Structure 1
Amino acid sequence: MKLFCVHERIEARRKLNSLSKEFFRKTIHICTAFVPLGIHFARIPVVCAVAAAGLFYIVCETLRMRGREIPFISDVTAAAARKRDENKFVLGPVTLVVGIVAASLLWDEVPASIGILALAFGDGLASLAGKTFGMVKIPLTQGKTAAGSLTCFGAIFCSAWLVSRDSFLAMSVAVAGAFIEVLPLKDFDNLLIPVLLGGIAQFV
């Protein structure tokens, strides 16, 4: 009985630690929602600043992998890293930056904003909802949940509609976004979501 209780406590702590890491990661994710506001007022300077931040991260992460810790940056990376990223180059921030920059340069302001907000809220909230409330797993998705997918759909639909005021466009983007999010793409959904959904918003 005591061993069972100890095991339960260890498992509860593990889940809490995993959830806190995910919350921290997705808080950074959701902060990218400020980028559309920036590109509205100063598109090129903001895109350059985001790209520069990405390059700075690559340098810091490369140094970290070689055993040279960078104050604050390495701590943030370690705090946000998933178990699968342990002792590896953490790729998520790189694909996040590339996705945002690509969407900003490829599409007009409104479609680019829709793609970036879909990444910020759709993908960001889906993971949190899945880890917190996800009881029903979707087969062949490496652990994705129905709660996460529904949250992703709702968040993308709402953000796309608020930007475009077009229900058909918002529905199209939300369906595509929920489909992409449920695929086991790991960190590459950060790249595909803003670019592909921005493209859909551009041409629908």
Structure 2
Amino acid sequence: MGAASAAVQEIKTELIRKSIHLLIALTPTMAAINRPVTVLLLMLGTVSYAFMEHLRLSGVHIPVISSVTAMASRSRDQGRFVLGPVTLGLGALLALLLYPSPAAAIAIYALAFGDGLASLIGKIFGSIRPAFLMGKSVEGSLACFTAVFFAAYHISADFRIAFFAAITAALVEALPLNDYDNIALPLSVGFVVQLLMIV
């Protein structure tokens, strides 16, 4: 596969990954309707995926799930347990369990839109990659900041909360955490938002 073909394939994979990633943005709406059921669904979904991924690695083909997992797998995931959906579910679950609304909602939107768009924009348009971003792009970090700022401002109507939520998300997203940013990002953003709401 040539360099151009590999780059196109990488972007296609990222589009599939981030389409799934963005679905976690439904969580705050579901939680507003019924929080306990939403928590239960996140727990069941995460555990069910982990079980099916174990079966896939054991050679058992799970209709739809195995195909989607294969399509959404990065090169570093080939032949390994694809951890992203597990950390995504855990990140949203922990935000709901640890923070009240609206901090939980802002934390989950930061995960869905901030982290999701940072990766997508970084892959497609990212050309400025200074050493301090450890392989990440300025374009991706700006996309993260912008998405989280607008989501947080829409929910809180508070410029200060929106700014600090966005800067926290951009800083955490820039760290080389791989799939664990799905946990670190909502927990960090939720903590900062909740702190700002009580001081």
The 5 A counterparts of 1:1-204 are 10-204=2-196
Q: Deviations over 1:145-188 (max 9, x none)?
A: 00000000000100000011110011011111100010110000
Q: CA deviation at 1:140?
A: 4.6
> In 2, distance between residues paired with 1:140 and 1:95?
25
> In 2, distance between residues paired with 1:175 and 1:55?
32
Larger radius of gyration: 1
> In 1, distance between residues paired with 2:161 and 2:94?
21
Percent of aligned pairs sharing the same letter? 41
Q: CA deviation at 1:141?
A: 3.9
Cα 1:98/1:11, change in 2 over 3 Å: same
TM-score scaled by length of structure 1: 0.94
AA partner of residue 14 (structure 2): E
AA partner of residue 86 (structure 2): V
> In 1, distance between residues paired with 2:165 and 2:26?
20
Segments of structure 1 that go 5 or more residues without pairing to the other structure are 1-8
Whether the aligned pair in 1 keeps the contact of 2:107 and 2:190 (CA below 8 Å) is: yes
| Partner in structure 2 of residue 6 of structure 1 | none
The two structures, once aligned, show a CA RMSD in angstroms of: 1.0
Q: Say how many residue pairs are matched.
A: 196
AA partner of residue 189 (structure 1): D
Q: CA deviation at 1:138?
A: 2.6
Whether the aligned pair in 2 keeps the contact of 1:39 and 1:109 (CA below 8 Å) is: no
AA partner of residue 48 (structure 1): L
TM-score scaled by length of structure 2: 0.96
AA partner of residue 93 (structure 2): V
> In 2, distance between residues paired with 1:74 and 1:139?
36
Q: CA deviation at 1:102?
A: 0.5
Instruction: Name the stretch that deviates more: 21-30 or 9-18.
Output: 9-18
Segments of structure 2 that go 5 or more residues without pairing to the other structure are none
> In 1, distance between residues paired with 2:142 and 2:90?
26
